[in-house]
């Protein structure tokens, strides 16, 4: 722990570890979509439908299936909406 978080980590009171593959609300993998869906249909998953702009880890351009991708996707969708609002 100290190698990653410094010497203060040696004085920690504890830590929590979770096996996500046993969580009933988690599928236990990075995305529930079938192999090849994100690479072949990814751009389609990002296309707005009318006034609806999609955000979520599966619509990320980078890091899809992960929290990082979800955040990037949210930032992308927000930028799309802001750009439309600025034009109108």
CA distance 49 to 24: 32
Question: Rounded to whole angstroms, how far apart are CA atoms 25 and 34?
Answer: 18
Identify whether the C-beta of residue 69 lies closer than 8 Å to the C-beta of residue 62: yes
pLDDT score at 61: 85
pLDDT digits (tens, 9 = 90+) for 71-81: 999 999 999 99
Give the CATH number, domain containing residue 51: 1.10.10.1620
User: How far is 21 from 58, CA to CA, in rounded Å?
Assistant: 19
Q: What is the pLDDT of residues 12-65, one digit of tens each?
A: 888 888 887 787 776 555 666 677 777 788 788 899 999 999 998 888 888 877
Question: Tokens 């722990």 correspond to what residue?
Answer: 1
Query: What's residue 88's pLDDT?
Result: 87
**Total domain count, the chain:** 1
User: Domain span at residue 68?
Assistant: 25-87
Report if residue 40 sits inside a domain: yes
Geometric angle at alpha carbon 40, from 36 and 46, rounded to 5°: 120
Specify if 18 maps to a domain.
no
- Classify residue 69 by burial, with Cβ atoms within 10 Å: 0-12, 13-18, 19+: buried
Residue 75 lies in a domain: yes
- Has residue 10 been placed in a domain? no
What pLDDT score was predicted for residue 31? 63
């Amino acid at each position: 722990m100290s190698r990653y978080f410094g010497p203060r980590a040696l004085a920690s009171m504890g830590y929590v570890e979770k096996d996500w593959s046993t969580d009933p609300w988690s599928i236990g993998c990075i995305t529930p979509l079938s192999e090849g869906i994100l690479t072949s249909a990814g751009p389609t998953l990002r296309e707005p439908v009318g006034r609806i702009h999609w955000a979520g880890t599966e619509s990320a351009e980078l890091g899809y299936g992960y929290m990082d991708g979800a955040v990037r996707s949210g930032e992308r969708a927000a930028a799309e909406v802001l750009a439309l609002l600025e034009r109108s």
